[in-house]
Chain A
Amino acid sequence: MEQSHTRKPWIIPNLLAQGVKVVKTVIEQMEPLGYSQTAQFAVRLALDEAMANAIRHGNNNDPTKHVTIEYHITEEQLQISICDEGDGFKPEQVPDPTLDENLERPCGRGVMLMNAYMTKVTFNDKGNCVTMIKRKDCPLPYVSEED
């Protein structure tokens, strides 16, 4: 019988320490399902960024707000949604941090890293809820030779 882990919904207070617990819990559930160390690194990176975005930017570090997490991990893929109570944002309007003129900007790399390391990343229309999928066999990230 296929193993899996599901948690829905998991509502946490809007605190970075709570976000760390979520990331730790998810990563711990990946290893017994056969996810490689590389896949765990990728998910950890993307989840750290998504949780920080929700808590710091979405909920504006307001400790009275909450973040809602839902996830389902099977032997084939991990799917996780992270929603904050903020007004949302337009991910396509985030400047490309890899352009020469943006390289020295200290912010704005979170969404780009999520896209690079996960198989699929989608936002809802409002932009306050991200859903990420990592397939176990997904080879991402891909760094081209010229880089």
Chain B
Amino acid sequence: MAENDSRLTIETSDDITLVGFLDRNILEEATIQHIGDQISDIIDATPNPRILINFDNVDHLSSAALGMLITINNKVRHKSGQLRLANINTQIYEVFAITKLNKLFQIHSDAEKAMQSFK
């Protein structure tokens, strides 16, 4: 995948990096790898990363995407940062609940609540 072929939207607000997905389906391994690399670059470039990943419009994801999110979470924690997930639809949330990853991630119903939760 080309370096500039981003599948993410990335904005910054109040020192918080807001990440969104362009695709409804986060399934393909190359895409997941690329997304993980992009977010890792943000983490690497920030002393105490505060990242909000917005799942608005995401309909499907695979266990590889969950793995990518876990890796991101581990990296953020390693740098004493904070990661929040928001706007996860009911079916996707069920995947987090079944895998018990809802215990690992801080998940909020919408982006505003997630923004307010940063310390």
Would you call B98 and A103 a contact (CB within 8 A)? no
Q: Which of B30, B68, B101 has the most CB of A within 10 A?
A: B101
Would you call A20 and B27 a contact (CB within 8 A)? yes
Would you call A104 and B63 a contact (CB within 8 A)? no
Tell me whether A1 is interfacial, beta carbon within 8 Å. Answer: no
Contact of B71 (CB < 8 Å), options: A45, A49, A106: A106
Contact of A112 (CB < 8 Å), options: B28, B74, B99: B99
Would you call B97 and A147 a contact (CB within 8 A)? yes
Contact of A109 (CB < 8 Å), options: B60, B67, B97, B103: B67
Majority secondary structure of chain B interface residues (helix, strand, loop or mixed):
helix
Report the interface size class on chain A: 20 to 34
Contact of B63 (CB < 8 Å), options: A49, A141, A143, A147: A49
Q: Point out residues on B near A: beta carbons under 8 Å.
A: 27-30, 60, 62-64, 66-68, 70-71, 73-74, 91, 94-95, 97-104
Q: Point out residues on A near B: beta carbons under 8 Å.
A: 16, 20, 38, 41, 44-45, 48-49, 52, 56, 97-98, 103-107, 109-110, 112-113, 116, 141, 143, 147
